[in-house]
Structures are given as C-alpha cells and as structure tokens.
Structure 1
Amino acid sequence: MTRLAAPTTTNTPPATRRWWALAVIALTQLVVVLDGTIVNIALPQAQQELGMSDAQRGWVVTAYALVFGALLLLGGRIADFWGRKRAFMLGMVGFGLASLYGGLAQSGSDLIIARGLQGLFAALLAPAALALLTVTFPSGRERNTAFAVYGAVAGSGAAVGLLLGGFLTEFTSWRWCLLVNLVFVAIGVAIGAVVLGESRAQGRPKFDMWGAVTVTLGFGFLVYGLTLAEGGWLRVDTIGFIAAGVLLLAAFVWIEARVAEPLLPLRILRNRVRAGAFIVQATLGALLIGSTMYLAFHLQLVLGLAPLVAGLATVVMTAATLVVVPLFTRLLPVWGPRAMLIAGPLAAACGMFWLSGVTADGSYALQVLPGLLLVGAGVGITFVPLQNLALVGIAPADAGAASAAVNASMQLGGSIGLSVFALAATGGATRAAAAGAAPAEVLAESYGAVFLAAAIVLLIGAAVAAVCVRGTKEELLPSHG
C-alpha cells in the first residue's frame, strides 16, 4: 500500500521578502527555459566551428531537454526530502559549472555532454524553485499574481532565449550563449541565499531508485527511438527502442503503485484536471522547445537574416505574451481557467497554421509576423492559469514531486516534439526535393511541415483541456479570493 504523504516543515520568508523570492524564482525559470532555445540561433555558427554533423547539431538541443525532463521527477523528490532551498542552491551552482564547460567546448561531443549536464542540474533546480514558489505563496490573490508572473516568464523564456542568443552570437561568439548563464547563476545564488526560506518533507526518505531507473531509461529509449524513425519506422532498432521505452514506462507506473515512497505519487495524477493540465503543458513544451529551433533556422537559412536580426524578429512573440498576461490575469475570475486552457492553445495553433505557409521567397512581415503574434498571445493566455491549476490542491509534502511533474511535462513534451518535428521536416524536404524544388524552397517546405505538425499538437492540447478541465471556477481555483 502507498503511504500517505509525509508532513512538511516550512520556513516561509516574511511578507516583505516574498516578492524578492518571486524575483529569484522567476529568474531561475527564465534561465532553465531560455537555455532550451538560446543555442538555437547559435547552432549554425557552433556547427561550423566545431565540425558537427547535422545529427550532432540536433542533439545539442535534444540532450538538454531529454536529460532535464527524464530526471525531473527524481530531482523533485530529492528537493522534497533534502530541502528545497538546498536543492535550489546546488542546482544553480552545478548549472553554472556545466555552462562553463559548454562555453569552453572543443568538440561537438563536449558541447552535447555539457548540455546534458545542464539538464541534469536543471532537473534539481527547476522543481525546487517551483516548490518554493508553492510554499511561499500558499493561497489567495498573491498566489495567483505570483503564478501569473511565473507563467509569463515561462511563456516568454523561449523567445528571450532566441533574442539573447542572436545578440550574443552576432556581437561576441556562440560560446557566450552558455557563458552568460554564469551571470544569472551569480545573481540567483547571492539573492536566493538571503531571501529564500527552507522547506522540506518530514521523515527519513527511501528514494525510489527502481522508479528513477525505469522512468529515466523509458523516456530516453522512447525519444531515441523516435529520432531513429527518420531512417524508417520499420527498422529493427527503431521498433526496439520505442517498444523498450513504452515497456519501461509501463513498469514505472506499476512500481509507483506499489512502493512505499514513490518517485511520483500516483495520487498527483489521479486528479483529471491536473492530468489534463500536465498534457497541455507538454504540448506547449513541444511548441516552445521543439518548433522554435526550426523557426531560428528559417529566419537565418531561408530568409537570410543575421543572428541578431533573427533574434529580434522573434521579440514580437514575447511582446504578445507579456501584453496578454496581465489582461487575462484580471479576466481569470470572469472566464475561469477552462476557457483559457482551450482558447490559448487554439490561438497558438492558428499562429502555427499561418507559419506553415512559409516559402523561400516570402517576406517576414506577411508570412512570419502575424503567426508569431498569435502564438505569443496564445502562449500567454494558456500560462495564466496553467501552473496554478497543475498544482492546486497538492499536499505540501508533494510540492517538489508535483512541481517536477509540471516541468517534466514541458521538457519531455519538448524532447519528444523535437523528434516528431524532425520526422515532419524530413518528410517535407523529401516531398519538395522529389518535386524538383530549389534548395531554399526545400528548406522552407521542411520548416512549414514542422509548423503544421506543431499546430496539430496544439489542437490536441485544446481538445484535452476541453475534456479534462471541468468544474466551476471556485472548484478549479479555490485559492482565488
């Protein structure tokens, strides 16, 4: 039988320090989200300097998202029992060291390993930060405001990463896309040591190592199998890795239902509303992590924009997110979370459908800009209630595990999205080449296929929200008051 959640001990910062704590936590979220995309603009330059193959280039992005997502559940449980502030501080320092290693990389393998190490420490850092936010703002209007700020940062971080990556690549070197993290880490450690309060679950934990092994290998095999599918779905290695991944994930669920202290208590997922929120989060991860890499490629390789200009070209997406967040935060008591979790992905899907029409001779103003505005607005609308809804009603002792599940949904959605979108890109390029298209048009067709696939994923997210997120506004967000 599964034991009830252990009680939690909390040392919450005084009211005067809560907003400083929010600033540090939001900075942390910005770092882990923007690092999913900051290297995207720099990849063409890094690939040339380090002599990477196209496959290695893709793994620079996938390694971060995959390791991050696969280890988040373990990181969340460590934070629950070891101490969330302690886990936060160690995660920050480790993330900084991994960034330094990547910034000094001398080969493609070095860069991929560094990105994996970034993901490892982010898996400790991110759930600790979100759990700290949960216990620092336990209820009321302050909680809703804090989660809206956190959501805005999460929603805009991918585009901020593209912009910052473009600036650094244009005026310094692609290496500074990793080294700049040292600045964020120094600020986060210095301020976090003062303003963050410690909290942890009581008791003497027994870590669910079999659960950790099965979920990590399960997601790893599944994503790797999907990457192999570019060479054919019927290949023995493709089928083998995908099947092994699915079986290991099934074993993980079986284990979690039987161990005394599970890595992911299944009570977190049994709530239909919360499970729906996790799935919506995964679709946003596919959008923000998976498709933005191809957006960066289109802007540079097809439209011929310089790295900085390509980064600036994505700012409109962030601006749209930042504009809609305060507006829809005020509308949350009126609309309720369900309407926003349906309308947001639908708006973003419309934007991706628009982007799917890109051509080699098309203009940014007509083919890209309108789509980015819709995507940014849709992301902002979705994130206003999403983080809060995914964590509402969670016992304090489960805050780290639930926060890890929220982040894992996004990162694993991103890593699986990268694999699926690579298949879409290959299919689009193959069709265009078979039709005798010019090289630039082949690229545009492949990226258009990715954007179309992303739109379909977002429509699935909207449908899941419509089915799973049900109940009155008071039932869905009881802290609103």
Structure 2
Amino acid sequence: MSGVAAPRSSEPSARSARLTLLTASFGTLLVLVDYTSPLTTLTPTAASLGAGLTAQTWTLTGTLLGLAALLLTMGSAADDFGRKRVFGAGAVLMLLSTALSAAAPNTGIFLTGRVLQGCAGAALLAPSLGLVGHAFPTGPARIRATGVWGAAVGLGIAIGPVYAALLEKAAGWRAVYWVLALLSAVVLLLTVFGVEESRNERPRKLDPLGVLTLGAGASCLIAGLAEGRYGWGRTMVVSLLVAGVLLLAAFVVVESRIPEPMLDLALLRSPGFVVSCSGALFTGLSIVGLMSYLPTVLQKSLGQSPLAASGILAIWSGLSFVAALQARRLATRVSAISQVAASLLVCGIGEAALYGMHEGDSWARLVPGLAIAGIGSGVLNAALARLAVASVPAHRGSMGSGANNTARYLGSSLGVALTVTLVAQASSSEGPAEATALGANDAVLAAAALCLVGALISLWGRIAERRAERAAGEDAGPAAVKTAA
C-alpha cells in the first residue's frame, strides 16, 4: 500500500534505536537550551551590542518566529524526504546560526542569527518524534522513549538559563553561543553515525501554497504579538495581526482543496489529534509563556540575581524533567488524553499557588506552586509527546510532531505577550518593583484560568474518544457474531 510505513524488518536494531533516542532527545534539549539562554543574558548582550527595547524583545521572540513558521513544514518534509536528512540539516543550520550570533558585530546580524536558530530548531524538533516513533514500535518501549523525549524538553528549559548565566559570568555572553555551536556539531555527528534514515515509501507532492500561507501567517502573527507589547492599537501591530489571521485562514482553505495536503484536516475529527494540538497550544499559552517571563519578575520584584532567578525557575523545570521520566508508570492506568486533562489542571493549581507576590518577598513561598506546576508539566510533556505520534498514521509521525510543536510555540508567543502586557499594565504607589509583583499576580491568575480551559477541552476529547470506542465496539459486535456463525 502506498504511503504507509516501511515494514518492521527495516526498523533499527535495539542499539540503533537507543542511539536514535539519544540523538533526538539531545537535539531537542539543544533547541530548548538555545531558546531559554537569553532569559539570563539579555542585559549584557543588549549592552554589548547597543540593542534597544525592541531589539531586546526580538532577542527573545526571534527563535519563536522561526520555530512556529517552519515546524509543520519541516515535519511534513521529514516524513516524505527523510527524517534523518531534515534533522541533520537542522543541526548544520544550528551550528552556523549560533556561530553567527556569537560573532555578530551588531544587533541586526545577532537577531538574524536568532531567527535562523528558530528555523534550525524547527528542523530538529519536527522530525525528532518521527525518528523516535520509527525506532520504537507501539507499546511500552515507545511509551518509555516518548517519556525520555518529554523529559528532554523540561531538562532543556532547566539547563538553559543556568548554563547561560554561569558561562556569561565566566567568559562573556558570546561564549554561550560558541558552546552551542560546538554542541550542534556533536548532534550532527550523532545523526550521521547513529541514526538510520526513515521516510514514507511514496513521497507526496510538495505543497508550496500551504508552506507559503502557513509560514507567512505564523510569522505575521508572532511579529504582531511581539510588537504589541508596546501598544496594541498601533497600525503596524493591527496590520500584522490581521494579516496573520487571514493568511492562516487561507492555509486552512488551501489544505482543504488539494489532494495531498501538508496537514490532513480530516485529522481534526480525531479526539487524540485535537487534544494533542490544543494541549500543546495551552501548554505554551498558560505555562511556557508565564515561566519564560518569571525570571524577569523575580529579578525586578524580589531582587534576585539572574543566576538565582534561573535557579528558582529550575525548581519547576527540574521537577518537570523527573516527572516526565516517571510518567510511563501511568500509561497502563490512565489514557494519554486523560493525562493531558489532569496535568493541565495540576499546572493551573500550581500557578494559582504563586499568587500573592509582593516586593521583597522571600522566594521560598513560591516553591510549593513551582513544584506542583513542575510535576504537572512533566507528565503533560510526556503525554503530549505520546499523543503527537499515536494520533496520526504511522507514516506521518513527523507531521504529528510538527503540528504539536507548532501549536506549542504559537501558544508560547501569545503567552509571553499576554504575561508581559499584564505585568506592564500594573501600577503601584509603592514603586515599580511592587507594580511588577502585582502585575505578575494578574498574570498567574490568567495562566491558571487558561490551564483550566485547556483541561476542559481535553476532558471533552476524552469523552469523545470513549464514545467513539463504544460505537466501534457496537459495530464490531454484529460482525463478530456473523463471522463466528
């Protein structure tokens, strides 16, 4: 049959499967480290390059632009033209783009490197789960493997800010990117010598209109969200947001009219696929968005140093890493969709527990909320990784990963913009530090509410899934009786 996965005999050996998991997880970790590094190096980087406020915003947002614009495209290309090929190309581009940022003589070249790092991240992230899905057959081995991949997400977020703060203090901000370039070379070597190629037996036709409308739409939307932090009513901001929405609507129309779309819209009838994407969207919107800005809040309102702030954040991200590794123990008891719903609810409870910040508070009062949210995030990452592969046909695993991660990073961009806006709008007669704390309180309540919305959507998905299973069982009953007769 055309368009199906290769026979099981072509799958990697146990040793090759382990190397594939190591490479895919290391590449994923590298992308997250690269994304989070500027959280603690933004001030010295901006001072060295003479970057203004807008440029500082794009230092944080540039990678999101490349990620969200190309993730689904890279996932589709990986399925059709080779997952190893696309992943390796991502490693090469990550090496070149981090070296470009490290050597940048001015802000423009540095930001170009950051956007290209997002493009490289898309080429690494999108095929990663497809590689894992090909290497590990459905069952306990795949559940463990996707848990490891989900743990790499949490570990990357935990390591990134601390790694960057320590290295910047020891050798300057440029060293952060030179070391990332070196690590990219390691990923490339692992890919070349440790990963077997996998692709569809029959590559589909290219979808240039889909690539154009999705890439341009996501780029306009993220650019509008980034610029909106300095005033949502400006003509440029409104124009970018409207253009983004219209282009994404055009993408849906294009995908519904061509015979071999990049994103099969029929998958939206699958509760698992809907929860995979909506859960990832609300993860970015309500969790990644808030936690990405939390170190800044800790520095401005609680008086923490950049290194201390990243260490406090590591309570959340470190527990996320541990919980993702242990999430496999839930697989035989709780469905992936139920795990997404419960995890989002737990994350919301943890975020709500952060409420009540004031200037000069002890960071210790944040520990319970960060711990609860970290455990929820870890189970959530593992469950979403499992769903991203399981909710699509076997030969479309990278597309499922691309769709899942596109939703995550679009949500992250919107979540960061929402958090920054709520913090910036707060005011206090006691000064800017107290105003930042009060704004952060508004942001954590908004994030907790969004977690609840995401949990309710996932709960609907679980109900729809059970109805579908019940209906399938009823249809199979008469057929089974007839066959037995």
* TM-score normalised by L of structure 2: 0.90
Shift of 1:149: 0.9
Shift of 1:232: 4.5
- CA-to-aligned-CA distance 1:377-434 (integer Å, 9 cap, x gap): 1101212322112221522332222221122111111122222222222222xxx1xx
Structure 2 partner of 1:318: 317
Q: Which moved more, 1:189-198 or 1:281-290?
A: 281-290
AA matched with 1:334: R
Q: Which moved more, 1:232-241 or 1:205-214?
A: 232-241
AA matched with 1:203: R
Shift of 1:194: 2.1
Structure 2 distance, partners of 1:297, 1:116, is 22
Structure 2 partner of 1:305: 304
Shift of 1:234: 4.3
- Does 2:439 align with 1:446? yes
Pairs within 5 Å for 1:103-142: 103-142=102-141
CA contact (8 A) 1:294 1:447 kept: no
CA contact (8 A) 1:62 1:418 kept: no
Q: Cα 1:102–1:232, aligned 2, differ >3 Å: closer, same or farther?
A: closer
Shift of 1:86: 1.2
Q: Cα 1:5–1:62, aligned 2, differ >3 Å: closer, same or farther?
A: farther
CA contact (8 A) 2:81 2:203 kept: no
Structure 1 distance, partners of 2:258, 2:268, is 16
Q: Cα 1:95–1:228, aligned 2, differ >3 Å: closer, same or farther?
A: closer
Secondary structure of 1:115's match? helix
Superposed CA RMSD: 2.4
Pairs within 5 Å for 1:32-181: 32-181=31-180
Shift of 1:364: 0.6
Structure 1 partner of 2:295: 296
Q: Cα 1:221–1:143, aligned 2, differ >3 Å: closer, same or farther?
A: same
CA contact (8 A) 1:166 1:310 kept: no
Structure 1 partner of 2:358: 359
Secondary structure of 2:331's match? helix
Q: Cα 1:187–1:287, aligned 2, differ >3 Å: closer, same or farther?
A: farther
CA contact (8 A) 1:336 1:473 kept: no
CA contact (8 A) 1:169 1:308 kept: no
Q: Cα 1:106–1:425, aligned 2, differ >3 Å: closer, same or farther?
A: farther
Structure 2 partner of 1:426: 424
Q: Cα 1:475–1:155, aligned 2, differ >3 Å: closer, same or farther?
A: farther
- Does 2:463 align with 1:465? no
Q: Which moved more, 1:166-175 or 1:299-308?
A: 299-308
Shift of 1:5: 7.1
Structure 2 distance, partners of 1:374, 1:303, is 21
CA contact (8 A) 1:167 1:307 kept: no
AA matched with 2:120: F
Shift of 1:235: 4.1
Structure 1 distance, partners of 2:87, 2:406, is 16
CA contact (8 A) 1:39 1:177 kept: no
Structure 2 partner of 1:479: none
Structure 1 distance, partners of 2:371, 2:296, is 19
Secondary structure of 1:333's match? coil
Secondary structure of 2:158's match? helix
CA contact (8 A) 2:359 2:434 kept: yes
Stretches of structure 1 that go unaligned for 5 or more consecutive residues are 477-481
CA contact (8 A) 1:170 1:307 kept: no
AA matched with 2:252: V
CA contact (8 A) 2:293 2:420 kept: no
AA matched with 1:193: V
Identity percentage of aligned residues:
29
Stretches of structure 2 that go unaligned for 5 or more consecutive residues are 471-485
Structure 2 distance, partners of 1:133, 1:276, is 20
Secondary structure of 1:334's match? coil
AA matched with 2:460: V
Secondary structure of 2:257's match? coil
- Count how many residue pairs are aligned between Structure 1 and Structure 2: 467
